[in-house]
């Protein structure tokens, strides 16, 4: 009331303590989602945010997840809304670690027991939280002079490392001329410019935004380079099982580094958002791999990570990790989940092929094989920002300015429409 009358009377106030707040551009991915929702055009298509959609363009609660939820509800465990430990649910963390690093539960060998001792795990607010906690931890204890991000990378990597106060540099990743991974460029830059103690962000599979992954031979060379130069590998694993349909294949790079370079320390940010369709539940883990130098190193690492977590948000949420735990501890549910992964990854591959076929049928200028060669949720289409804008304004088709398209937004019904739109903008928009 007082404020109102003061304003009406034109009483001058002291400037706000926040008047110098800078303008911040909204997050492009989420802004695009909102714009898509607000658009009433009947043929609108969302190729923006990386979420799985069915052939009807609908969200898909995974059947295995639904069953796990029903079982959890039936169990009616009165502790289900209690606090977790600060480090998270230890059983969930063991399962998440075993899935990532490929440990078999049965017949545990001494070597495997020892290998597990190298890994300090904490539960996080999904993959973003794992990246964030990991970045803060490294900023505090590794103090890298530089974090090397691929050019391009997921835009949030930039924000996360800026918040952690670690200077960023980029290594070449995308060769626009060949629409492929610029392996030579990446290796040359890192070889010449990266310093011992720097960290490098590596996408474990389904590189976001390009959909271009190194080959196994290239991964081996990257691992050798990290080892030789003393660069700390930070893996972001957001698509295990979702990209290829195989949990093993999508974890290959992480497991190779872990098994073949046992002296090299590294870490992994693991997300269950995509592979379990648990986007809003924020299920994830951060795994710090030490060289196992002393028996208590693992525990010290967990305690230090807990110190960060407690100060930031006390602990990760519980519900989603209960679901994942249920799936991973029940053979039947796990088998069904693996089938669900196959459903999602197969549909995406099918849509890549359908878009490619349509563009070829239309004779759209340019080459389009990259759409079928790329891997995972995204295709880096090669469309320019002007063409992307025209896709939105003329056709109500939403994709990122970089030309990144979330392939799961394609359906049998809209793929022809999308291909015609691409054909038009490629021919008519400079
Ligand atoms: C994306 O890249 O679209 C997804 O990973 C969603 C996100 O959090 O950005």
Residue 112 Cα to ligand 1 midpoint, Å, equals 34
User: How high is the pLDDT of residue 9?
Assistant: 59
Angle at 219 between CA 214 and CA 225, to 5 degrees: 125
Closest-lying ligand 1 atom to the alpha carbon of residue 27: 9
181 pLDDT above the threshold of 60: yes
287 forms beta bridges with: 121, 268
Query: With bands split at pLDDT 50, 70 and 90, how would you rate the model's confidence at 207?
Result: very high
Average pLDDT over residues 189-199: 98
Query: Of 380, 251, 404, 340, nearest to 52 (Cα)?
Result: 340
Residue 129 Cα to ligand 1 midpoint, Å, equals 13
Summarize pLDDT for 369-421 with one digit per residue, the tens.
Answer: 999 999 999 999 999 999 999 999 999 999 999 999 999 999 999 999 999 99
User: How high is the pLDDT of residue 26?
Assistant: 87
Phi, psi of 64 (to 5 degrees): -65, -35
**Percent share of the chain, pLDDT over 90:** 92
Which residue's C-alpha comes closest to atom 6 of ligand 1? 50
Q: Give Cα separations from 348 to 51, 113, 125, 293, 306 (angstroms).
A: 11, 38, 26, 43, 38
User: How high is the pLDDT of residue 411?
Assistant: 98
Cα–Cα distance between 396 and 16 in angstroms, integer? 40
User: How high is the pLDDT of residue 308?
Assistant: 98
Is the shortest distance between the CB of 408 and ligand 1 below 6 Å? no
Average pLDDT over residues 6-29: 83
Mean pLDDT of the chain: 95
2 pLDDT above the threshold of 50: no
Query: With bands split at pLDDT 50, 70 and 90, how would you rate the model's confidence at 106?
Result: confident
236 an active-site residue?
yes
Residue among 89, 182, 213, 236 flagged as catalytic:
236
Query: Of 36, 120, 77, nearest to 291 (Cα)?
Result: 120
Cα–Cα distance between 84 and 320 in angstroms, integer? 12
User: How high is the pLDDT of residue 278?
Assistant: 98
Q: Which residue matches tokens 């967990």?
A: 302
Q: Is the pTM of this model over 0.85?
A: yes
Average pLDDT over residues 102-128: 91
Q: Which two tokens stand for residue 263?
A: 């002296």
User: How high is the pLDDT of residue 76?
Assistant: 87
Residue 269 Cα to ligand 1 midpoint, Å, equals 14
Is the shortest distance between the CB of 154 and ligand 1 below 6 Å? yes
Summarize pLDDT for 155-173 with one digit per residue, the tens.
Answer: 999 999 999 999 999 999 9
- What is the chain's alpha carbon radius of gyration, rounded to the nearest angstrom? 23
Residue-range domains of the chain with CATH:
28-60+345-428 (3.90.1150.10), 83-329 (3.40.640.10)
User: How high is the pLDDT of residue 102?
Assistant: 96
User: How high is the pLDDT of residue 10?
Assistant: 66
Closest-lying ligand 1 atom to the alpha carbon of residue 406: 3
Residue among 261, 274, 326, 392 flagged as catalytic:
274
User: How high is the pLDDT of residue 4?
Assistant: 47
Summarize pLDDT for 48-105 with one digit per residue, the tens.
Answer: 999 999 999 999 999 999 999 999 999 989 999 999 999 999 999 999 999 999 998 6
Which residue's C-alpha comes closest to atom 4 of ligand 1? 50
299 pLDDT above the threshold of 50: yes
Residue to mutate, 208, 210, 399, ligand 1, most ligand atoms under 8 Å from C-beta: 208
Average pLDDT over residues 221-244: 97
274 an active-site residue?
yes
Is the shortest distance between the CB of 29 and ligand 1 below 6 Å? yes
């Amino acid at each position: 009331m007082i404020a109102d009358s003061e304003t009406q009377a034109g009483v001058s106030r002291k400037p706000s303590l926040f008047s110098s707040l800078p303008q911040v551009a909204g997050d492009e991915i989420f802004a695009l989602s909102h714009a898509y929702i607000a658009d009433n055009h009947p043929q609108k298509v969302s190729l923006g945010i990386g979420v799985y959609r069915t052939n009807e363009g609908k969200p898909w609660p995974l059947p295995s997840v639904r069953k796990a939820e029903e079982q959890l509800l039936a169990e009616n465990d009165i502790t289900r809304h209690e606090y977790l430990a600060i480090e998270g649910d230890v059983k969930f963390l063991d399962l998440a670690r075993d899935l990532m690093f490929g440990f078999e539960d049965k017949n545990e060998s001494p070597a495997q027991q020892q290998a597990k001792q190298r890994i300090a795990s904490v539960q996080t607010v999904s993959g973003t939280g794992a990246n964030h906690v990991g970045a803060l931890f490294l900023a505090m204890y590794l103090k890298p002079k530089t974090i090397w991000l691929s050019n391009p990378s997921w835009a949030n990597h930039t924000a996360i490392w800026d918040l952690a106060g670690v200077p960023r540099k980029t290594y070449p990743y995308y060769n626009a001329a060949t629409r492929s991974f610029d392996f030579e460029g990446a290796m040359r830059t890192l070889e010449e410019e990266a310093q011992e103690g720097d960290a490098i962000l590596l996408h474990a599979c389904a590189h976001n935004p390009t959909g271009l992954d190194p080959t196994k031979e290239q991964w081996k060379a990257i691992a050798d380079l990290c080892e030789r130069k003393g660069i700390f590998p930070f893996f972001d694993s957001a698509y295990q099982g979702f990209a290829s349909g195989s949990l093993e294949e999508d974890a290959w790079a992480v497991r190779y580094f872990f098994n073949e370079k046992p002296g090299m320390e590294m870490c992994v940010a693991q997300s269950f958002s995509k592979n379990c369709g648990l986007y809003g539940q924020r299920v994830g883990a951060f795994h710090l791999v030490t060289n196992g130098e002393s028996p208590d190193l693992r525990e010290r690492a967990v305690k230090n990570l807990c110190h960060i977590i407690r100060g930031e948000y006390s602990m990760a949420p519980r519900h989603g990790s209960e679901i994942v735990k249920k799936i991973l501890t029940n053979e039947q549910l796990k088998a069904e989940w693996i089938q669900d992964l196959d459903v999602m990854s197969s549909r995406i591959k099918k849509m890549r092929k359908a878009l490619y076929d349509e563009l070829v049928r239309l004779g759209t200028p340019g080459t389009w094989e990259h759409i079928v060669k790329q891997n995972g949720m995204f295709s880096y289409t090669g469309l320019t920002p002007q063409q992307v804008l025209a896709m939105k304004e003329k056709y109500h088709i939403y994709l990122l300015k970089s030309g990144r398209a979330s392939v799961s937004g394609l359906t049998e019904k809209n793929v022809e429409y999308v291909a015609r739109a691409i054909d038009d903008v490629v021919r008519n928009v400079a």
